[in-house]
Amino acid sequence: MTSTLRIIGMTCNGCVRHVDKALRGVPGVTAVAVTLPDQATVVHEADLAALAAAVEAAGYSLAAG
């Protein structure tokens, strides 16, 4: 499954790297592309709650919807 997530709080390439690393650490994630200002495209078998938890643990949040 491929999901496009809107990330709140990313402001720089360092933020992109943090979110990328967090999402890649979720079991079941096979590919990640994170871009400014606020998007992450994730190929995964993990549930969305696990992706959201990883983003939040990295210090960011997901936009609703």
Q: What is the pLDDT along the chain (65 residues), one digit of tens a residue?
A: 999 999 999 999 999 999 999 999 999 999 999 999 999 999 999 999 999 999 999 999 999 76
pLDDT at residue 65, rounded to an integer: 62
16, 8 Cβ separation under 8 angstroms: no
pLDDT of residue 28: 97
Tell me what pLDDT residue 20 has: 98
Cα 46 to Cα 7: distance, rounded to the nearest angstrom: 18
Q: What pLDDT shows up at residue 64?
A: 77
Q: Give start and end residues of each alpha helix (H) in 1-65.
A: 13-24, 48-57
The Cα 17–Cα 58 span in angstroms is: 10
Task: Sketch out the chain's domains with CATH numbers.
Answer: 2-62 (3.30.70.100)
